[in-house]
């Protein structure tokens, strides 16, 4: 590990292909999920996440560097340095990063899920968890996701159980059982779980990304996809990372090519097409 690492402006676009990506699971697992309020996708150096860090209605990138437990958040979808930097977590943290508006004040903040322990913080500062709850059975059986399932403005936990294709969503940031559960996906689902407000009605719902096929559902019920389209992006290896990139209230597709300097490919509609916004943001190894 390098003793220090910084995010800095770079004009270069990473062309190298990262071949050993593991999704954000414990250590060696292979499955991650992102989100607008999201869980991170893991790169060689950390996890990419997205959220609305400053409450302007637009989701922008963040990086969680596990080795130092440092979060690097940026407030615009452009190449540049972090606007907000702080430590939350432990050095070489094995927790899985999540993002959401836990207190409903309009600003997304971070959290870590360690096993079934969710430790959420309400400010972009170093400190102990503001909210500590237990939910789910932990990775890899349960992949954490976060979203506003009931439209009350507060993001709360959910888990996707790939073995059965079942989603378990909870409407409060407290310990307890799922308020909503349904199957969406196959038993042994290998698709990548995503969540977002696809139709802009104020409620986050779920989706799966299978290869480059985004299959999104607008209700918390079993059924076929309401929205289906292909979106990958240029490099051979990218991970899906949806968000509201233009502040219109709808979450749309994004993809990130994780690397020391990750390349982000954001699209403003849930349709097949090219990225509307492309930029680099991540760790610069130099």
Name the residues that contact Ca ion, by CB under 5 A. 101, 103, 105, 107, 148, 150, 152, 154, 197, 199, 201, 203, 244, 246, 248, 250
Of the two residues 166 and 250, which places its CB atom closer to Ca ion in the complex?
250
Tokens of 74: 């940026």
43-to-10, 117, 130 alpha-carbon distances in Å:
18, 23, 27
- Tell which residue, 68, 112, 72, has the closest CA to residue 92: 68
Of the two residues 65 and 244, which places its CB atom closer to Ca ion in the complex?
244
Q: How far is the CB of 246 from Ca ion (least distance, A)?
A: 5
Block residue for tokens 């071949």: 19
Tell whether the torsion through CA atoms of 267, 100, 214 and 23 is positive or negative.
positive
Of the two residues 43 and 250, which places its CB atom closer to Ca ion in the complex?
250
Of the two residues 5 and 217, which places its CB atom closer to Ca ion in the complex?
217
Tell whether the torsion through CA atoms of 45, 46, 47 and 53 is positive or negative.
negative
222-to-99, 212, 219 alpha-carbon distances in Å:
26, 22, 8
Q: How far is the CB of 266 from Ca ion (least distance, A)?
A: 9
* Distance between CA atoms of residues 32 and 50, nearest Å: 14
Of the two residues 10 and 250, which places its CB atom closer to Ca ion in the complex?
250
Of the two residues 23 and 39, which places its CB atom closer to Ca ion in the complex?
39
Q: How far is the CB of 15 from Ca ion (least distance, A)?
A: 28
Buried b (16+ CB within 10 A) or exposed e, 176-194: eebeeebebbeeebebbbb
Is-contact 148 38, C-beta < 8 A? no
Q: How far is the CB of 10 from Ca ion (least distance, A)?
A: 26
Q: How far is the CB of 189 from Ca ion (least distance, A)?
A: 21
Q: How far is the CB of 11 from Ca ion (least distance, A)?
A: 27
């Amino acid at each position: 590990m390098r003793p220090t690492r910084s995010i800095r402006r770079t004009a270069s676009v990473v062309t190298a292909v990262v071949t050993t990506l593991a999704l954000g699971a414990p250590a060696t697992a292979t499955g991650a999920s992102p989100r607008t309020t999201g869980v991170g996708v893991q790169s060689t150096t950390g996890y990419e996440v997205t959220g609305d860090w400053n409450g302007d209605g637009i989701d922008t990138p963040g990086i969680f560097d596990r080795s130092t437990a440092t979060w690097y958040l940026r407030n615009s979808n452009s190449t540049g340095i972090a606007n907000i930097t702080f430590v939350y977590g432990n050095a070489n943290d094995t927790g899985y990063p999540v993002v959401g508006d836990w207190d409903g004040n309009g600003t997304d903040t971070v959290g870590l899920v360690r096993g079934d322990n969710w430790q959420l913080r309400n400010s972009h500062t170093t400190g102990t968890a503001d909210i500590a709850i237990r939910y789910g059975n932990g990775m890899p059986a349960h992949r954490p996701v976060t979203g506003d399932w009931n439209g009350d403005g507060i993001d709360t936990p959910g888990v996707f159980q790939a073995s059965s294709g079942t989603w378990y969503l909870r409407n409060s940031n407290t310990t307890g059982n799922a308020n909503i559960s349904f199957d969406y996906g196959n038993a042994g689902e290998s698709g990548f779980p995503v969540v977002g407000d696809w139709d802009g009605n104020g409620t986050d719902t779920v989706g799966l990304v299978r290869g480059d096929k985004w299959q999104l559902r607008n209700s918390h019920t079993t059924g076929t996809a309401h929205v289906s389209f292909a979106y990958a992006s240029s490099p051979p290896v990218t991970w899906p990372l949806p968000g509201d990139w233009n502040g219109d209230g709808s979450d749309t597709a994004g993809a990130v090519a994780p690397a020391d300097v990750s390349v982000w490919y954001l699209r403003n509609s849930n349709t097949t097409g090219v990225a509307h916004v492309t930029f680099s943001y991540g760790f610069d190894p130099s």
